[in-house]
Amino acid sequence: MGTVERERAGRMTKVLVIKMTALGDVAAALAPMEQICRHHAGGEIWLLTSPEAKSLFAHHPFFQVRTVNRDNFFGRDGVFSTIKWVRAMGFDRIFDLQGNKVSYRLCKWSKSPERIGTQPNPAYTKSVPTKWVRTVKHNVITRLNKTLAAGGINPATEPGPLYASKEDIQGVAMFKSLHGLKPKHFAVLHAGSSPEWLSKRWPADYFAQLIEMMELYGISCVMTGSPVERDINARITVNAGIDATGVLSVRQLYVLARDALFAVSNDSAPMHVFSQTGIPVFALFGPTNYKWSHGFNQRANVVTVSMPCSPCFKATCPPDKGHVCMENLTPDLVFARIIKKLGESGKIG
């Protein structure tokens, strides 16, 4: 009996969604996840994700959440115990939105009758027909939408919500009141990136210059970040801007960004969180491929300069290159893109 027949027979469908890498990758997949949840509304829907991404789904109305430690085979949340759990759960459908060695194993040994994956692999019963390679020119969402199609689900065309609690919303309201932030009269910015990807970072001095330009234009600027960005944000906001380092959770960051006029960010997890709100996100790209890494529906807002060595996919720029992909992306250039975009949309004049 297939999934459709089971649903028609009144049997609750059990569905597992796998997305378990870095926080930014999980945030980027929120829209396809939402499509799966809505398609299987009324079913029992589980998400298997990484421990660092669990908090994103603390108030999700559809997902039940389990975490897996991909770096630990034997252990409480290790790969082996997770395989045993998946087999015991007896899922009717598994959507593997990850596509790595761990998720292949989980699907292969799951005993689930329908296993839907992001690229061809014997672990799946259905999948995207072509293999993903680094040279592809389409965004990761295109790949995930093709995965949905393989499972008979309509593509994600709208950003996916990040569900917040009443306390999250109240906390953001207090933050906005404290700093006099009015809806659509401020911008959110993020100058950090993964510590393993320092090459993604736009120079701190450039962020500082951009904030001064924006505030002279009447737009307040909020620098966001976790405690690891404390030093860089303190340096950026010496003369202008609001330093919100460590003040807001990721869910609260999403709530704040919904009221912002726009966002500016390096290629990072906050870039994807900002993108899920639907505001313009001016993403600064250099060493990575914006064509498949930009935020949801944000390709038109990518800001980059063409350099022979970019994208290089190197976590640290070689000294002889001088980080030209980001150094040549000047504050004047970014400011001009922002003003042009917002002027054309009628949001500022």
pLDDT in tens, 281-315: 999 999 998 988 999 999 999 999 999 899 998 98
Q: What are the backbone dihedrals phi and psi of residue 26, each rounded to the nearest 5 degrees, phi first?
A: -70, -45
Same domain, 129 and 192: no
Cβ atoms 240, 223 nearer than 8 A? no
Same domain, 135 and 213: no
Domain boundary among the residues 150, 176, 194 is at 150
- Determine the pLDDT at residue 5: 47
Query: Which domain covers residue 7, as residue numbers?
Result: 3-150
pLDDT band at 70 (very low <50, low <70, confident <90, very high): confident
Residue 141: closest CA among 54, 27, 285: 27
- Determine the pLDDT at residue 9: 39
For the record, the structure tokens of 8 come out as 């028609």
- In Å, what is the CA distance from 62 to each residue of 1, 37, 75, 77, 321? 25, 6, 27, 22, 48
Same domain, 12 and 42: yes
Percent of the chain with pLDDT over 90: 80
Cross-strand bridge partners of residue 224: 190
Q: Is the dihedral of CA 278, 284, 288, 289 positive or negative?
A: positive
- If one counts the domains in the chain, the total is 2
Kindly state whether residue 158 falls inside one of the protein's structural domains. Answer: no
Domain boundary among the residues 82, 116, 150 is at 150
Kindly state whether residue 155 falls inside one of the protein's structural domains. Answer: no
For the record, the structure tokens of 119 come out as 């690229």
Residue with token string 């298997």: 48
- Determine the pLDDT at residue 206: 98
Residue 179: closest CA among 260, 296, 72, 287: 260
- Determine the pLDDT at residue 279: 97
- In Å, what is the CA distance from 28 to each residue of 3, 89, 140? 27, 27, 8
Same domain, 211 and 257: yes
Mean pLDDT computed over every residue of the chain: 92
- Determine the pLDDT at residue 246: 95
Would you report the helix, strand and coil content of the chain in percent, each value rounded to 5?
40, 15, 45
pLDDT band at 139 (very low <50, low <70, confident <90, very high): confident
Same domain, 121 and 204: no
User: What's the CATH number where 309 sits?
Assistant: 3.40.50.2000
Same domain, 210 and 104: no
Same domain, 145 and 173: no
CA 325 from centre of chain: 23
Which range is least confidently modeled, 6-20, 232-246, 309-323?
Answer: 6-20
- Determine the pLDDT at residue 10: 43
Residue with token string 């994956």: 117
**Per-residue pLDDT averaged across 111-132, rounded?**
92
What's the pTM value of the predicted model, to 2 decimals? 0.92
Cross-strand bridge partners of residue 284: 266, 303
- Determine the pLDDT at residue 151: 96
Same domain, 76 and 176: no
pLDDT surpasses 60 at 3: no
Same domain, 170 and 283: yes
**Per-residue pLDDT averaged across 265-292, rounded?**
95
- Determine the pLDDT at residue 1: 43
Residue with token string 């869910």: 251
Domain boundary among the residues 150, 182, 201 is at 150
Q: Regarding predicted confidence, which is higher, 133 or 298? A: 298
- Determine the pLDDT at residue 324: 92
Same domain, 110 and 210: no
pLDDT surpasses 80 at 73: no
Residue 115: closest CA among 105, 106, 126: 126
For the record, the structure tokens of 254 come out as 């999403």
Same domain, 331 and 191: yes
Same domain, 42 and 189: no
Which range is least confidently modeled, 128-137, 260-269, 280-289?
Answer: 128-137
- Determine the pLDDT at residue 348: 63
For the record, the structure tokens of 327 come out as 């150094």
- Determine the pLDDT at residue 17: 98
**Per-residue pLDDT averaged across 211-220, rounded?**
95
**Per-residue pLDDT averaged across 170-196, rounded?**
95
Residue 28: closest CA among 333, 288, 345: 288
Kindly state whether residue 156 falls inside one of the protein's structural domains. Answer: no
